[in-house]
Structure 1
Amino acid sequence: MKMRPLVSLALGLAMVSGSAAAAQDAPPPPAPVPPTFVDPDVAHDPDNVVYLDLSNGGRVAFRLMPLWAPTHVERVKTLVRQGFYDGIIFHRVIDGFMAQTGDPTGTGAGGSELPDLKAEFNKLPHLRGTVSMARTNDPDSANSQFFIVFYPRFSLDRKYTVFGRVIDGMEFVDSIQRGEPPANPTRIVQASLASDNKPRPGPRAPVNTAAITADQLSNSKSD
């Protein structure tokens, strides 16, 4: 049996050792870029489509993207199913920038009773129609408030968690009343998941404008 030359064996070991060291010194591969395609068909994957029925009469649909920010998507779905967003106003609406909502106090300082979320910043740009989570200066302070972008604002990229995009009804987002807060704010009448098949809210009941009788007037007086 032929013996393998010791010199060749040593050289081979050295090459393997050198390759292992080089592999250890090599920088880690870049993180995968999340897919940017957003399915515009509200009938597809309805469990990840949110309907916002607004007080301006419009219905906005935006698609949640679990591949972009799974924890934030799960939080929004939880709050939607709880009815948390029903009746909440858009409290901060800046023309040419964005419309922000999700605070039950209407001041911008409130949120849900659930714990704040860890940031899930990603490489998705803040394009028109982007739905992104609001937060304080603390990166891990997002809770329930979110905003919808009117026009691209790339300075927000990788600083706020993008978790969805409007796929229908952007014209009704454009019609949201401006202000911080607006004098006559637009509110979310009902937020729902498309998969829950909730009917759209009907018109408000008419106010009874019948004349007050003398008996009613006397009964309403305090002693």
Structure 2
Amino acid sequence: MLKNIFAAAATLALLSAPQAGFAQDEASSEDAAATPQAPRTYDKLNFDAAEDRDNIWVLDLSNGERVMIRLMPNWAPNHVERIKTLTRQGFYDGIIFHRVIDGFMAQSGDPTGTGQGGSELPDLKEEFNPMPHLRGTVSMARAASEDSANSQFFIVFYPRFSLDKRYTNFGRVISNMGGVDAIVRGEPPANPTRIVQASIASDDKPVPVVRQTAPRPTDISAEMLSAPISE
């Protein structure tokens, strides 16, 4: 079943992650009273890619760009842990950006490339927070249920404050937002940009070799025009 992360009336809808698992049950009021939760803190974003490298998500894209994202466990600890777990499993390697809307966002994280797939791990309980959806924000896609985020995520091209406290904001691009801007647009794109390799900076994975696509037979170059005609 096709799912959108916005209401049907919204013109800029994101395809969301499916119900790949059961959302966690909410704690009862008695349990909540018995175990009070410590207030969550919201530290300032650290743009220094040399610091706290265990919380830097590195995306090597098929457009040849390496993008670095600061993960913020103080904002959304369970979502950050999910990203790290799937990344270290190699889950995101080879996955395309299947929905990319110019002036809005680029969405990925679905192994089927349809917007309906996810991981085999259970869905996550929401961790909505007051951090705004600014340019470069990385947030989790979900279905109609607030507790249905799984593996799909999106990167915001321009501020979208209507998403605040409705989708879990778990980080922001701190290096090479231009590489995100270069992601091919489309729903889905005809020739989608893919994640060649996702890694955590502290794992020190080298930049992968990106194979260049050979020219199509219909492409005509200056060399072809000047080449002698053969029978």
> TM-score if structure 1 supplies the norm length?
0.77
- Tell me the residue number matched to 1:89: 96
User: SS at 2:78's partner residue?
Assistant: helix
Q: Distance in 2 between matches of 1:206 and 1:144?
A: 28
Pairs within 5 Å for 1:112-191: 112-191=119-198
Do the aligned residues in 1 keep the contact of 2:43 with 2:74 (CA within 8 Å)? Answer: no
Pairs within 5 Å for 1:50-129: 50-129=57-136
Q: Distance in 1 between matches of 2:40 and 2:79?
A: 18
Do the aligned residues in 1 keep the contact of 2:137 with 2:169 (CA within 8 Å)? Answer: yes
Deviation at 1:34, TM superposition (A): 3.7
Mean Cα deviation higher: 142-151 or 194-203: 194-203
Identical positions, percent: 73
Do the aligned residues in 1 keep the contact of 2:62 with 2:210 (CA within 8 Å)? Answer: no
Instruction: Encode CA deviations 1:20-51: one digit per residue, 9 max, x unaligned.
Output: xxxxxxxxxxx967425111111100000011
Unaligned runs of 5+ in 1: 1-30, 208-223
- Tell me the residue number matched to 2:205: 198
Q: Distance in 2 between matches of 1:206 and 1:105?
A: 22
- Tell me the residue number matched to 1:48: 55
Q: Distance in 2 between matches of 1:99 and 1:206?
A: 22
Q: Distance in 2 between matches of 1:129 and 1:65?
A: 14
Q: Distance in 2 between matches of 1:122 and 1:76?
A: 17
* Bigger Rg over Cα: 1
Q: Cα–Cα, structure 1 residues 35 and 177, in superposed 2: closer, same or farther, change >3 Å? A: same
Unaligned runs of 5+ in 2: 1-37, 215-231
Deviation at 1:205, TM superposition (A): 8.5
How many residues align structurally?
177
Do the aligned residues in 2 keep the contact of 1:34 with 1:123 (CA within 8 Å)? Answer: no
Q: Distance in 1 between matches of 2:130 and 2:213?
A: 48
Instruction: Encode CA deviations 1:139-160: one digit per residue, 9 max, x unaligned.
Output: 0000000000000000000000
Do the aligned residues in 2 keep the contact of 1:60 with 1:166 (CA within 8 Å)? Answer: yes
> TM-score if structure 2 supplies the norm length?
0.74
Q: Which amino acid aligns with 1:200?
A: V
Instruction: Encode CA deviations 1:157-213: one digit per residue, 9 max, x unaligned.
Output: 000000000000100100100011000000000000000000110143898xxxxxx
User: SS at 1:201's partner residue?
Assistant: coil
Mean Cα deviation higher: 32-41 or 105-114: 32-41
Cα RMSD between the aligned structures?
A: 1.5
- The structure 1 segments of at least 4 consecutive aligned residues displaced by more than 3 Å after TM superposition are 31-34
